[in-house]
Amino acid sequence: MNRVAITGIGIVAPGAVGIEPFRAMLDAGTTAVQPIDRFDTEGLAAHTAALVRDFKARDYIPAMKMRRMNTLSRYAVAAARMAIDDTATQPASESGVAIGTAFGPVQTSVDYMQEYVSRGPALAPPQLFAESVANAPGSHIAIEFDLRGFNITMTQRESSLLAAAMYGCGQIVKGTVPSAIIGGVEEVNEMVFSVLDRLGTLCYADGELTERMRPFDRRRNGMAIGEGSAMFVAESSPSREPYGWLSGFGIARDTTATISDWGTGHEQVAAAMRSAIDDADLHLSDIDAIYASANGTKRGDRLELRAIENTFGDACPPVVAAKGYFGEYAGGGGLQFAAALLAMRDQKLHASLGFEKADPEMHFTMVREPRAATLRHILINSLSAGGGVVCAVVSREAA
């Protein structure tokens, strides 16, 4: 694949709004996963999530426009504005939009149905219906910044961001558009949280074990979910020094997975990793670090662990599990991607927050403390419950 530059980043994250506050949170090794105060979790096993706080949408969106947007769209438009401001260049009008979201505006759909049932179809607010579709955030981005190229929203759970990035970069490489806003957005709400809790997906306290997300840890028992948005400006001919270059993608399907869980097909995951590296025209030995999909689920982490072992063997580069900072789904997977780009820019690996005691099957090295590193190429993994796998390579140089 011809390499595509990432020249701007915008972040609305749990615990940090803006790229530098986000970097500081990663460097400090602090988690944004905290007890939930947005809704009642009594009767559930899990009680924590990574929620966006101290975000003021009016700082980024005019008041009249903001009234037409739900929370999800506000996160996305604000992050897109920050990303565009970061580049200091307005994208051309023919530029596209490709974003990912695992669940979309579930809360808006709930609100609309409550109005529909209580007031009847004639009185249910039409604006709520317009905001109840998954592509509402992407549409608002296109309208706000006059972007008239393609506009697509991917919903592939944990892999939503990389799936969207793969599409957007493919269009840039083909010359369909000169640039694109790519990114992800997610919102934590009571319905999604309750469903995931009852499926046994979320981490929980167990005896002396506190409720915590523990990626790749042998005591892991589930994920913590997060919200927010991360948006990126991707372009073929950058006018400034980019954070990094998207140089390769790989995609696969684990056919052993059920609709709501991970499977056992580590060979398919390994194939996606190798495809991304091949697409970047690299060798396994060129990869300097892996930013793993690991989210603390027993089956998901085991699947990725075996795929990494299968792919790299004894020559595995250092592995970072970043989701302990901001939870799973956060920004549709965008915050994991942003963390890898910052690692590339700063030539510094982040600590794997929540990892303490290695899984017995693990033979590769986890990064436990932040440290300087020579990073030319980083592999980013994204494994979805349900079997979707998307991997990407970020490179430091244009070629």
Is residue 120 pLDDT above 90, yes or no?
A: no
Confidence band, pLDDT 50/70/90 cuts, at residue 127: confident
Question: Residue 111: what pLDDT?
Answer: 73
Is residue 123 pLDDT above 70, yes or no?
A: no
- Beta strand ranges found along the chain (DSSP E): 4-13, 16-17, 33-35, 48-50, 96-100, 151-154, 179-186, 228-235, 244-253, 289-291, 319-320, 348-349, 371-372, 377-383, 388-395
Q: Which of 18-27, 232-241, 242-251 shows the lowest per-residue confidence on average (mean pLDDT)?
A: 232-241
Of the chain, the percentage scoring pLDDT greater than 70 comes to 99
Q: Are 181 and 80 in contact (CB under 8 A)?
A: yes
Confidence band, pLDDT 50/70/90 cuts, at residue 112: low
- Beta strand ranges found along 155-203 (DSSP E): 179-186
- State the Cα–Cα distance between residues 144 and 79, nearest whole angstrom: 12
Question: Residue 59: what pLDDT?
Answer: 95
Is residue 105 pLDDT above 80, yes or no?
A: yes
Q: What is the pLDDT of residues 311-322, one digit of tens each?
A: 999 999 999 999
Confidence band, pLDDT 50/70/90 cuts, at residue 121: confident
Is residue 118 pLDDT above 90, yes or no?
A: no
Question: Residue 98: what pLDDT?
Answer: 98
Of the chain, the percentage scoring pLDDT greater than 90 comes to 86
Q: What is the pLDDT of residues 291-306, one digit of tens each?
A: 999 999 999 999 999 9
Q: What is the pLDDT of residues 42-68, one digit of tens each?
A: 999 999 999 999 999 999 999 989 888
Determine whether 115 is exposed, middle or buried from the number of CB atoms within 10 Å of its CB (0-12, 13-18, 19+).
middle
Question: Residue 1: what pLDDT?
Answer: 74
Average pLDDT score over the chain: 94
Partnered with residue 230 across adjacent β-strands are 11, 184
Decide: pTM greater than 0.85. yes
Question: Residue 260: what pLDDT?
Answer: 87
> Which H or E run includes 266?
helix 266-279
* Average pLDDT estimate for 278-302: 97
DSSP-derived letter for residue 390 is E
- Both tokens of residue 312? 């790299």
Question: Residue 80: what pLDDT?
Answer: 98
Domains of the chain plus CATH, in order, are 4-395 (3.40.47.10)
Q: Are 152 and 295 in contact (CB under 8 A)?
A: no
